[in-house]
Each structure stands twice: as C-alpha cells, then as structure tokens.
Structure 1
Amino acid sequence: MAPTLYPERRSADERTDASWRLVFERLHEGFILGKLVRGANGSVRDWQYVEVNPAWSKLVGVAQEAAIGRTIREVFPGIEDAWIDDFAEVVATGVSTTFTRQVGTLDRWYEGHAFKVDDERFAVLFLEITERKRQTDAMERLNGELQRLIAERVSERDSLWNTSADILFTLDKTGRLLSVNPAATKILGWAEGEMVGRNVMEFIAPQDLRLTAEALETASRQTLAVIENRYLHKDGGFRWLSWVAAPDGELIFATGRHITAEKTAALAAAKVAADLDRIWQNAHEVIMVIDLDGMMQSVSPASFDILGWLPDELLGRKVTDFIHPDFQPPLRDGRFVPERYVGQKVFLNRFRTKYGSYRTMSWSTRLEGGLIYSHGRDVTIEQEQAAALTKAEAQLRQSQKMEAVGQLTGGVAHDFNNLLASISGALQVLRVRLKQGKTEGLDRYVSMGMASVRRAAALTQRLLAFSRRQTLDPKPTDVNRLISGMEDLVRRTVGPEVLLTVVGAAGLWPATLDAAQLENALLNLCINGRDAMPHGGTLTIETANKWLDDQAADDRELPPGQYISLCVSDNGTGMSPDVAKLIFDPFYTTKPTGEGTGLGLSMVYGFARQSGGAVRVYTELGKGTTMCLYFPRYLGAAEPDTVGCAPPPVEAGAGETVLLVEDEDQIRILASEVLVDAGYRVLAAHDGASALSLLQATTRVDLMITDVGLPGGMNGRQIADAARLQRPDLKVLFITGYAANAAVGNGFLEPGMEVMTKPFEFIALVNKVRQLLDGFR
C-alpha cells in the first residue's frame, strides 16, 4: 500500500491527491490513518497516528500536530486495550469492523468504522455519539421495559418517537412495517402512508437484499448487532442507514441512524487509497519516503525498472550511500537539513544502479511529518540529448563563423591589394629616383606610402572590431561632451540638406569605453542615416540613462542594470525586416556597388559588444530607422577632457638598456636601429627563450619591448610575467599586429605596462619608450 503522498505534479495523480485532500479536510467525521507498532516478537503492542483530519481534532480535543507521529497510548494514557486489539484484528483479517466505544478517560462516546489499508495500516472514520449514546442507552432501557412504558409512559414514548433524529420502525416478523416515526419520512422522503403496511424489503437496495433478509431473520429471534444497508429514497437515490433491532413477542423494534455522509466519505477514502495504491504500483517514477537520518522507509516498485534495485533491497538503507559523491546533499550533524525540503523542491543528482552505473534523476521533494517524500524521474537520456544538442549548436556556430571568415577573406583581399599596390609603387619610384641620384620631391612618395599604410591600419582596425579582438583603450567617458566635440564634423559630413538635431540627456551617466572607437561608430551611423535620406531629412542624435530590468535586458542580450543609450535616428527610407536581420553581417550592404564595403555596421556591432554593450535597430520601411548603442554605466566621474594639453617633454635616451623581443626580422632590425639612434642600448631576441636567457645574463634591463604573438610556445604576456618574477619593477611595452586581448590578460595591464598597435610610426615608439621610462602614462 502506498504512503500518503501529496506531490505537486501536473498529472492524474495530482488531481486525485487534490480530490482526496479536499474530502479529507472537509469531512465532518473524524478520520484516522494509523500504523501498527509491533514488539520484538512481532506482536502488536500499540499503534501510531499517521494522519488525522481537522474534524478528528475537534471531536477529541487534541491538536493534529500533537497526535501525528505519536501512539494512541501516548496521546490517551490508560486507553483500553480494545482500541488496539480490534484494529490489529482488522489489519490481520482484512475484515472491517464497526464499533461504539469511549476513548480512555474522556467522557465521550464515539461510533466508527475501521477498515484495512495495507499489512501495517488501517483507517478509521467516526463520529461522536455521546448524546445519541445516551439516547440509545435510554432506548435500550425503554426496550427492556417497553410494556411498562407503553402502559405508564405513553406520552414520553410519543415524545421520543416524534423527536428522535434516528429512524424508528415497528415491524412484524415477516418484515411488514406497522409504524414509522417522523424521522423516517424526513430521511427517506416517503410519507407515512406510503410506508406503513408495505414490507420493508421493498425499500431495500438490490445489493443489500440478502444482507437485510438475514438480519431480519436474526432480529426475529434475538437482539441484532449493528448492520449497514441502503434504503431507496423517494427521489430515486439511496440513503445509508446503520440499524439496531430487537424482538418483542411478535414485533420487532428497529432504530436506524442516517450515515450516508460518513459512508460516502469512507468509500471515497477507500477509493482514494486504492487509487494511490495503483499509482504506487504502476508509477513510472521512483517514489521514496525517507526519514531525516537518510533511511529509506518506503520505495515504489519502479526502482527495479529504473535502477535495478528491488524495493526490499533499498528499505532501511541510507539514500546517501547510493548518490554520486559529486551530488551529495547538505547534512547537519549527519542528518538531512529539514529547511531544504520545505515546499516543493526540484533538483538533479546521479543515483547508483544495481549494476554499478549511475542514472541522472530529477527529484521533487516535500517534507511532511518529519519524513521526506521524493519523486524521482530518470532524465539520463534527456541530459545526454541536451549535451549533444549543445555540442551540435557549438559546431553550428563554428561553421557559421568559418563561413563569415570566408566572406571576410574575399572582401579584404581587394582592398589590401589596392593598398599594397600603392605602397609598393611609392617604394619602387623611391628606389628608381635614389639610383638616379634624384632627391627632389622624395617626401611626396613617402607621404603617399604612409597614407596607404594609415588606410591599411584603419581597415585592419575595422576587421578587428568585427572580430571583437581590437585593442580598446576604455576610459570613463562623458558621451554628451564627446558628441558636442564632434557636432561640427558631423554637420559637415552629412551636408546642408540634412537637419542635424542633438538631444543630450541632462545628468547623463558616464560610461567606460574607447572614445576614439565611439567617435568612429557615431560617424558611421550618421553617414548611414544621411545615405538613407537621399533627398534630405532630419537626423537626430539622442542620449539617455536607461534602467534595464530582466525583460528589457534579455531583449538586448545584456545583464540587467544601468546603461546609457546613444541613438541615431533618421526619417529616411527605412528597412524591411528581412534586410534589418542582415545589416550587422560582414560585407552586407544596401548601398550600390562601389559605395560601401559592408564592414561599417559590423565594426559598430563588434565595438559595442566588446565594450560590454549592445546595438539594437528599430526600423520601418518608408518611415525611417533608429540605431541605438547601449553601454554599461560607469559608477564614478568621467575623466577630464585632455584636448589641448601638451604632452610631457620627450628627451633622448641616456644609455638605458632596452630588451626588444620581435620575431619579424625587418621590424626587429628597424626598431633596434631607431632606438640605438635615439641613445638607447638595445638587446634583441626573436623568441621567449632567447629573451629570458638575455634577462638572466644581463645585469641591467630598464625596459622590455615585446610582440604579443611569438613562436616557441610563449606569448609576450607570458614572457613579461616571467621577467617580472626576476625584475618586479621592469617596464613593459607590448606591440601587436592583431591586438589579442587574451594574450595581454584580457585587456588588463598591470602598472608599468602599455600596449601599441602595429603599424606605428617609429618616432611614436621612441616617444612611448621615453614616457614609460620617465613614468608617464
């Protein structure tokens, strides 16, 4: 038989449990679910309250919590042995019993019905009949002196007859009704004239005809013990009655108590118990009842199908012995923590099978009466499928990334070929002029080559922004001030046909970002807005403080919190939803051939995401577009504007020693010559091992310049960290062509470290070395 369980589950057993609980809570009759307590020799010595309903507490004057878990001898000291023996017999024989009895020293009488639940438990449904018992006792005394009472107390008999809440019948020994009291007509609906003169068997339900006939035969000879049967009501239904009958000469006097409500409740309880037993036996989940010491008290048969263990193999053993070490529950003094199981809890763990393997189980638990009721569902396959799905999604993302890289390669090749042609051409002309001894106008070709280099560097930065790997220099920034400084540039760029409106939020929070990159992104958005308005229109730049709750943040793929927004809006052509989905893809552009590379918005997107923010587009075809950038708020003040401040004076080297680590021979040679010309002593190495050897062999090294990406298994950051173990105050300048933030510690540089992005002018390298050595940042 299954224990009483009340899991919150979306299934048929939940509805059954809820129905049973409703009946249980609203019964006017007392209800007990008891469990036998046996001695060492197996004999029953007591029984324990497992469940009682509110009506029980009201009827006996004992709180539910004061009874559940305790025995009847503890709750009612001095209780009669019959309260134990009778219920033990019900469990042993399976035969229900009806009783009328006092409870210990309580001056109350109860009448009830007990039936077997399983091999150790029974259920009892009862009412207090103290007042009726007194009436019944009085009636029994009256039955013994009926003739004298008829002669001497006719008026009293008539009063009892008319006012009794129970049915009173007078029958002859054939079963013909001779008289019925008013209660009979009230309970059964038949008028007195419709009953008197008819045989009582005409009013008995077909199912109870044989039982009633046998009882009537017995009552014609001796006092009849209580029987229960169903009587036909005039409305076509049935009413349950509990009878006591006694013979007197040729007559039979019978008293019937109306028990339809309690009988219905008892039958419902029995049905619920049977349904619970079927659920227990047929459930596809492992159901366990565990005490706070971790001992398994009950286990459903599904444990064999899912885990390979028979229920008897688990009973009395600690559940923690079967849980994988990585999933052990929290314990307090070796016992389960009760607070963990208050209310419905769902969690995963791995449970050992009989075969030594583990199954992943999803458990829902509930604490009740000092016991933990647990339902475990096998989710091993679901977990494996989820892991496989995650792996497949990762492979798909990698595939999509490789496809994007392929698109990038084709687009970039064209631009770089043009730039390389320009640089190569300038160098070739320089070489020819130098061979010819012509030195006039050489600066023109140098300028042309340097301009192409700067264009190549700008394209590289766009590519790095798209891949979210460009080196940013994030600082607390006043975005309103930045926009104000760019306003004239934006006006000249968009032209006179576009009306520019700037709306800066008052009290705008600062944000931590790379100001130069934000300027590029803003200019890019403004140019896109201008191009979307070929006949002119209005372009609006607007800032605002934003509090993003869970839903708003989720819509923007951001954590909840405080952000600033920078939005650029136009009233131009707008975009269709299909186009709007593609605008951040590399090399996708809506502009005519030759008028756009498709990298601009990809760069903006990469910059925003790398800065911890997001980009969102709001557009409607024919009405315009709004592009919004979101950046996390900086909790502090923005850095003061340094425009116009002169840099610290730069002096030539004074013989300081610089360790240069660069695997590209030409860069290493050129940088070494420039630094030597500037007055520095230079030690050159092509990889990490060589650099560390020079550090160990050289007494004085004032500064180390190192590329980030190096051969030999050590990157620039690892070399710097190793060098600082020997020389904690060593200044370090990182130079990098791809600016991999992870290689320099995810963008976080320690004091005395700085980074320069290739390509750079060598004079800038000399200046940066001087600044680092002098302590400037």
Structure 2
Amino acid sequence: MDSSISKKTRKTRARSPTDWAQNTLDLAVLSLTPDGTIASWNSGGALMYGYKAEEIVGQHYSVLFLDGAVGDGMPVVDAELDRARERGSCAIEGWRKRKDGSVFWASVVTSVLLEENGEPGGFVKIVRDETEKRRAHDAVIESERNFRLLVQGVTDYAIFMLSPEGRVTSWNLGAQRIKGYAAEEILGSHFSRFYAPEDISAGVPVRALSTAASEGRFEAEGWRLRRDGSRFRAHVIIDAIHDEAGPLIGFAKITRDVTEKHEAAETLDQIRAALLQSQKMEAIGKLTGGVAHDFNNVLQILRGNLELVTSRYSREEWLMNRLLSALAAVDRGAKLASQLLAFGRRQALRPVSVNLAAMIRGMDDLLRRALGETILVETVISGGLWTAMVDTHQLENVLLNLAINARDAMPDGGKLTLELSNSMLDDRYVRALSDVPAGQYVMLGVTDTGSGMSQDVIERAFDPFFTTKPEGAGSGLGLSMAYGFVKQSGGHIRIYSEVGHGTSVRIYLPKSSTEASTPVTRASADLMGGSETVLVVEDDLNVQATVIEMLAGFGYGVLKADNAELALAVLSSGVHIDLLFTDVVMPGSLKSPEMARQAVKLQPHLKVLFTSGYTQNAIVHAGRLDEGVELLSKPYSRADLSHKVRQVLGTPGRTLSPSNNEHPLRHPGKIVELNILVVEDNDLAREAVTELLSALGHHPLAVGTATEAFGEIARHPFDVLFTDVHLPDMSGLELAAQASAFCPGLSVIFASGAPIDNDNSRNFAWFQLAKPYSLDQLQAVLCDVTNVVDRRPSSI
C-alpha cells in the first residue's frame, strides 16, 4: 500500500510544473516579486549563472545584468518589466553576467503572474544560454561584413550579383569604376544593358545566362558598353548560385577590363606582321639590289648606243621609228628597275625642305592631262602648312602613280581630292608601327570616288606585283613603290577604302625644321657640252665604251680607267682632270667613295659625279644620299648625262647643235696613230700616261728603266720616245741621245717637272711636256710630233 502510494506520489510530482522548473538544467527559471526581487531560483539558474539559491534569492534581479546596463533608476532593467506588464510577456535577448563576472548571451522570456483580482503579483523569467548560437550568428555577420568589404574594396574587377532573370541585385565599387554606373542607377536593371546592340540582337546575354545555369559557369571575352557609351574589352565569368536545397537563386558575375591587354596582344600581332613584312621587304630589297646593278648596266649600254645611233641617223624615218620603240622599251625596263628599288628602299634619295602646296600646284596641269576631262580634281590645303623633308622628284612620281590608280578606279569619271594638312602621330597611334616614330608630319591625302577595295585587297595592296587590274594593264608596282619610297623617307602610308565608296591613300611625311628650298629648274632642253677633261671609271667595258662615245660627242676630252687603282694612277700622273665620272659599285678592295676622296686630295679642284644602277650603302645612308654627293642613276639618257655633267662642273658650257655632236679628236685630221715608247720609273705615273695615250688612240709600250728601253728599241720600231728626265740607271737626256742615234727619225718628248735646257747639239726632234700637264697640252705635243712624223719620207 505505501509502495503504491509512493509511486503515485512520484508520478504526480514529476508532472508538477513547479518540480519541472526547479529541476531542469537547460533553462534558468526564476520568479520575481513585483519590484524585481528574486523570489525563487532553480537548478538551471544555479548552473547557468553560478549562484546557489541561498546566494541569489532576495537580491534584485539587476544583479544579473552587465554593469553598463544598470544606471541610475535602472532604466534598462525596469523597461523589461514594464514591457511585460503592458503586454503580459516580454521576449528579449542580451548579454547577462555570471557570478564569476563572465558573460553569456541569454534569450529571456518574462511573463506576468496575476493575482485573483487581476493585479500583477510578480514575474516568472525563463532564461536560455544562446551563447554558441550568438557566436555563430556573429561569425556569419562578420563573414558577410568582411565579404562586403572585400567585394566593395575591389576596384579592378566588377563584382555583382544577378537575379535568376538577370537583374542586378548588388554592385561593387569596381563595377562603378569600370562601367561608370553608381549602385542606385543600376540596381534592378537587366545586365544586358552592358552589351553592344549587335550582341543583344545576336542573343549573347541570354546565351550567357543559359550556359551558366545549365553548366554552372560561363566564361568569355567581348566588347561591353560603359555608361558614357564608350566600349571596353571585357573578360566575363558568370557562376550559377544555388541554395542548400538546389534551386537556382541567381548568378555571381565578375567582369575585368582587359582592353589594354587586348590592345597589347593586337599590337604584338601587328608588330609580328610588320616584322614579317620588313623581313620580306629586306629579302626583296637584296634581290632587287643585286639584280639592279647588272640590269641597269645592260639598259645603259642599250640606251647609250641607241641614242648614239639615233643622233647619226635622225633623218631615216623607218629606222628612227624602230630606234624610238627600242628606247621606249629601255624606258619601261628602267622604270621597272626603279620601282623595284623603291619598294626595297634602295633608292638614292635627296630630300630637301619643300612646300608641298607649291609642288602640287606645279603639278596641276600634268595631273589634269593624266586624268582626263571626266575626272574633277579638287585641292584642299590647310592654313599654316608646315614644310616637309622629302625628295620632291620621287614624290612627284608617287603622286602621279596614285592619281593614275585613282583614274583607273573611276572608268566612268569621278572626283579626285588632293589634301594637305599638318598632322601629329602620337604614341598611341604609332605603338604598333615599329618603324614610324611619334611626331609631327605633313599629311598628303589622295582620295577618289572610285570602286574601292575590299579588306583582303587592302592587306595585299603594297605587295610587289600584286594588282587587281586585267593582265597587261599594270605592273603591280605602283603602290609598292609608293610604300617603299615613303618608308625610306621616314614617313608613313595608309590606305582607307570600302568597296563601292572609293579609296583614300594618306601619306605622312616628316616635318622639316627649315624653310622651303627653291626648286631647281632646268634652264634649257638642248644638249650641253664643253671642253673639259673627264676621267671615266667603269669596270663594264661595254658601258665604258658607250659613255666615252657619248661624252666625246659632247666635246669633252675623255680618259678611261677600268678600276679604282688605275683611276688613281691617272690622277697622280700629273694630267689635269676636271671631272671624275665613276661607277659606285666597282670590283677590288678600293671602293669608289674612298677612291673619290683620295682623288680630291690629289687634285683639289676635281669634281666628282657618281653613277650606278644600285648604290648599296656606299653613298646612301639612312635612305638618303650623302651630303655633297652627286649621282646620275643608270640607265640615263644623253640629255640626262649632258645636263648633269654641266651641273656638277658648275658652268653653263655650250649648246650643241646636231652637227657638232662628234668630238673633234675623233677626226683630228693630220693626227695619226703613233707607236710610243714610254720610259717612267714611277709605276703609277707609267700606268697613267699609258692609259692616256691609249685613250687618245695611240699604241704605247711602257718600261721603267733606260736599260729596258734599249731592249725594246732593239726589238720594235717606235715613232716617239716619251721619257722622264730622271731615271734610276741613266738620265733621260742621255737615253734620248743614244736612242736617236740607234733609231734615226725618232722624236722625243721629255716629261719633267723642271725645264729642259735648249741644247743645239741635239740632232733629233724633241719636245718638252711640263708636269703636271693637261690633256689638251698632251694632245698639242702629240699633234706637233705628228707633223714631224708626217714630213718623214717613210710616212709617205
């Protein structure tokens, strides 16, 4: 009986709320009097706060608050109880203090206990320790805060969130910097507003979200729009965001501005392409240079001989027509070689400071004749135009070629606009142009209203022999020649064109810092000649013979040398030379420029004129003819040679009529060919006088000593003994006396720097030639000798 009652009692107590409150350990359950004094305290309170019931009951419950939460009148504590009185209960969270001073985060529910009359009789508080939950919450808050700070602090990347539909839900400072929108301007907008219209039309934004949603990630590069409408190159990553259950809740989008990287890559590609183009041009330049020299020599032989024949048979119409056709073919070959050299940047340019406006005005009539009446020519010149540094003759050829190309693109007529203006090519523009420095240029634009070019044609337009014209209608070298010339001039050339909308070629030429020079005009179209002495130095004997014939026809005294060493021998012999006319490219160790420098030292009055079909780098450096150097490019005409020689000599000369085109020495009347024994111990002088005598049509035989001379006299008959006075083994005077005794009738020419005494005892005809002597003086002495020879009975 007692046992069953005891069990019943235990069950009743277990179900009692008071017992539950007293024994629970997870919650602190305590009761308060109306004024807030603790009236009861359970085991959970002792475990949570650290106070035993006897230590805490009777104290005001404010003892459980942090010191800072309790002030005068305990407003925080009283407010909690007042709220419970008003509402019947009050649930709050906050920091509470244990007996040992440590704190914990408490979830507190305060309920009012009502008396039977309905008045508040006190309070019941249930407290749960939520410290771990609070710490987890704080960690999440801190993490979110740090993430926000991180995202907001990133300015190199645009980081923002999108809703599943693609609307912007967050926006960082990087997005604001890159795209130009503030957060309040963009939140809620669809992200497709950042795309270019053509990308929107092509469905790029929709495809990006669709790919990210299906595959979890989308990555691409493309052009995007900023708030101001400008474009930038963007690298974009879109990640799909799912919640714990799996549904898609949005997208995270990261955008990076890679415009500079993209431009750098494009610049690198352009530089590589430019390098390949440069290497191709260098290879073609070497090829054309190597071929041009021999090719132009051949053309020079053809032209020179054809013109010589033309001058002699000008009255025979049938022959003249064929000769003129042959000369026209030579001209076409010369133009082809010139264009190849221009493309390979191997021309010998002579740039000067020039007013391009004056040059274009001077070409007006020529351009109108070349273009015809169906094409309107308009010239637009900006005010304050700078002078440009350029070879005007070559630029005129380029402009004429461009005008003819424009004419061919407008078969039914149209308009050609020539434009001149000042231009500044900045660092950004020339970044991909390795051979174009930033700076000030004069821009020459040639624009037509013709058929235009496709992009593929533009990319190949400067390649040699590339043409879109029908076979036989063009060589394909016009634009490539213009390209090579402009590049060699230190400038830049570019084509702008669109099919059906015409073409514009813009040439940028370096600005000159000096005033424009006065253009040189040719005073007369007549052939000009003179009586000066010219030394021709040419290793190609056919070319040599041709040019000697041409110069002799102009009245000049002409000497020849096959190489630089022989040329110096002639110059050091004492004979007076007015003009050294030498090929640039010569065989042997002594090069023509060095030979010319030594020649001027030997004869300071000497003028030098170079000729070549290809100058290499001998007299051309940095694309320009060396200062003070005169050049006549092969192949040249008789008129070119005539006027260039007079220009270099610096005197007008005389105008030649068709009847005086032959040199008088070619038909000297009484002068006959003489067998001459030359005795000269100086090697160079001996070679020089031998060359001179041979050039004048005589037959010299040269030795270095008197002993050698006696040996030759014993073996061969001679008309003249040409001897120096001072010989190593015998005086020239003694040699002459003995030789004349052995060979009666021998005439003697003494060549000496000192005067010869007039000795009446000499029984032979003798003449004196004072060193240094001119060609005219040598000819005069030989003429006197010839008169003596003619009077001998053996000559009849």
TM-score (norm 1): 0.46
TM-score, with length taken from structure 2: 0.45
